[in-house]
Amino acid sequence: MGYDLVIKNGTVVDGTGAARIQADVAIANGKIAEIGRVTEGAKRTIDAHGLVVAPGFVDPHTHYDAQICWDGAVTPSSWHGVTSVVMGNCGVGIAPCKPETREIAMKDLVNVEGIPFDVLNKGITWDWETFPEFMDAAAARKPSLNLAFIAPLTPFRHYVMGEASMDRAATAEETARIANLIGEAVDAGALGFSSTTLNQHMGFEGKPLACRNASREEMKAYANQLKKRGKGAIEIALTRQVGVLEQDQCELLDFLLTESGRPVTFIALFDRDDIPEAVRDTLRRAAPMIAKGARPQTSPLPLTRECNMDNPFAFAAFPSWKRVFADTSKEAQKKVYADPAFRNQFREDLKNPTGFSDWRRVVVHDVRNGALKHLERKSIAQIGELQGKDGVDAFLDMVLADDLDVELTISSWNTREDRMRELLNNPAILMALGDGGAHVDMLCDAGYPTYLLGTWVREKQAITLEEGVRKLTSDPADLFGLKDRGRLAKGVPADVAIFDPAAIGSSNHGERRHDLPGGAKRIVMPSRGVEYTVVNGAITWEQGKLTEAKAGKVLRG
């Protein structure tokens, strides 16, 4: 037989952790037809001499739920060898949704995931109401990548309870209806459901995201839907303080594992040098749950994000900032920032940090007011020293002086190489947290697969190539039950990443583009060294450019 595509002379790393081999890979009808020595002809041949041929990468933590409406190429993930993305994380999403409540769903995404309202309002197509219809609409768009979905609890609660979902637990009757809808979503192919307990996850009108009001009785009913079906996983944003797992959170994690009988993956496990033993303590505390199937998530990237005061998400974990999110108009925010009572409360919050506590890591990136230009590239700590002020006053006075237009960068977490080596070599930890599609104007971590392979595999040799590829492929695929993805084997769908191991990489500092609906700004992360990406047998990325191929599918559990 003739093949559609043959990849010749490559170093095959199959995604399972097995040792690399020199082999050819033949593809026919969208599937791997042969791995070994291939002598028959093909419609196209790629010479992969000196390149690694690996499974396409699987990104298990994205927020592309809205972006897939206007960007079928799912950028920038598709630039980095990613062939499958999982969205619907952290309990927030846009399905199910009734027409009259679309504004609430969009404003949840604005507050929780940092996506501008005008972008969502212009870009979301709303060609669905139920969750199964949402997945069908995604498939009908013929995307470039494979799309997989977790059912986010907030819109399910809101669909049944209305605005009461933002204020209280569900009744028994409401719980049964929500549980049935989640079961229906899983039957239609959702990979499980997601939720959050994080204080900073405030939605419409600054109220707690609706899933945060779910009672234990509710969570039991939803988890039991997975147990009854024997499939699916739960994703939950769990740690009130990043990297710190507290006793009540341990109990909730164990409860979800028991009631679902399924894996539970939780965020966020970042190493913090301000709480030096946090990650080690969390892993010790979580050990019994990890033995039952819990998977903490981390990123191989040091977390560096831009922040602007249009959506000051970086400060949302501090209780004092709830006032800011209750009314996000510029004039309302100015009044809050100038209020001495707010400033004093913020100072108290900083004594028990849930986000950052070091003003040396908050740096002024850009200001509009010419009189403040001399402060660019200075940290808030440096500005405070110059002005004889503490960090809070130096920061908020500058914000007001620049009419809230100031842009900042905040650096925190995953900065210690020795601790990162521990995380990377811990088999329980899931490489994730790319957050693609979210926080679009402040950061882009979606390039973490190429960063992992460039920085931690090649440059620092913290893990082997085989293990680095496994962490990006079969490991996340298996967690969510996508058993035919994330590996190269005869008969499986042909999702392939072909990269130069001597060149692959990306930085952790993104580039600015104005390519969102309406020309809005976002931060993107270009890739290096990814030569080709193949999705279901079709080449979607070729030597630095996207092709016109649209062979992606909706992956149904």
pLDDT of residue 242: 87
Q: What is the C-alpha to C-alpha distance for residues 535 and 551, in angstroms, rounded to an integer?
A: 6
**Of 23-37, 213-227, 266-280, minimum mean pLDDT range:** 266-280
SS (HEC) of 67-127: HHHCCCCCCCHHHCCEEEEEECHHHCCCCCCCHHHHHHHHHHHHHHHCCCHHHHHHHCCCC
Tokens of 125: 């197509």
pLDDT of residue 13: 98
Residue 499 has a pLDDT of 98
In this prediction, residue 356 carries a pLDDT of 64
* Confidence category of residue 132, pLDDT binned at 50, 70, 90: very high
Output the pLDDT for position 297: 98
Q: How many residues does the chain have?
A: 557
Are the C-beta atoms of residues 197 and 236 closer than 8 Å to each other?
yes
The per-residue pLDDT for 413 is 85
What class does CATH assign to 58-68+77-302+414-446?
A: alpha beta
Query: Strand 3-12 relative to strand 21-28: parallel, antiparallel, unpaired?
Result: antiparallel
Query: What confidence category does residue 1 fall into, taking pLDDT thresholds of 50, 70 and 90?
Result: low
DSSP string, 133-144: HHHHHHHHT--S
pLDDT tier at 98, thresholds 50, 70, 90:
very high
Residue 136 CA to residue 453 CA, distance in Å, equals: 34
CA distance 286 to 263: 14
Q: What percent of the chain has pLDDT over 70?
A: 99
Query: 439: which 2 tokens?
Result: 């926080």
Cβ atoms of residues 204 and 111 within 8 Å: yes
Give which of 54, 173, 69 is closest to 501, Cα–Cα: 54
pLDDT at 353 over 80: no
Q: Do residues 24 and 5 touch, judged by C-beta distance below 8 A?
A: no
Per residue in 257-295, pLDDT (tens digit) is 999 999 999 999 999 887 899 999 999 999 999 999 999
For the chain, which residues make up each domain, given as ranges? 58-68+77-302+414-446, 306-412
Omega before 137 within 30 of 0, i.e. cis:
no
Residues in Cβ contact with 331 at an 8 Å cutoff, skipping those fewer than 6 apart: none
Structure tokens at 360: 């040396």
pLDDT at 355 over 70: no
Q: Which is more confident, 89 or 354?
A: 89
Reduce the DSSP state of residue 295 to 3 states and report it: strand
- Model confidence at 233, in pLDDT bands (50, 70, 90)? very high
Distances (CA, A) of 238 to 91, 200, 290, 296: 11, 11, 14, 10
From first CA to last CA, the distance across the chain in angstroms is 32
DSSP character at residue 235: E
Q: Helices 380-387 and 391-401 meet at what angle, rounded to 10?
A: 90
**What is the distance of C-alpha 20 from the center of its chain?**
29
Return the pLDDT at 508.
Answer: 64
Q: What is the mean pLDDT of the chain?
A: 94
**pLDDT value of residue 309:** 84
Does the pLDDT value for residue 328 go beyond 90? no
Q: Which residue has the higher pLDDT, 507 or 185?
A: 185
549 Cβ contact partners less than 8 Å away, ≥ 6 residues apart: 144, 535, 538, 539, 540
Residue type, 56: G
DSSP one-letter code for 429: P
Confidence check: pLDDT of 59 > 80 = yes
Classify residue 189 by its DSSP letter.
Answer: T
Using the predicted structure, report yes or no on whether residue 484 has a pLDDT greater than 70: yes
pLDDT more than 90, % of the chain: 83
Mean pLDDT for the stretch of residues 379-398 = 95
Lowest mean pLDDT among 54-58, 122-126, 301-305: 301-305
The per-residue b/e assignment along 178-217, b for 16 or more CB within 10 angstroms, e otherwise, is: bbebbbbbbebbbbbbbbbbbbbbbbbebbbbbbbbbeee
Q: How far is CA 514 from CA 125, 308, 508, in A?
A: 20, 16, 19
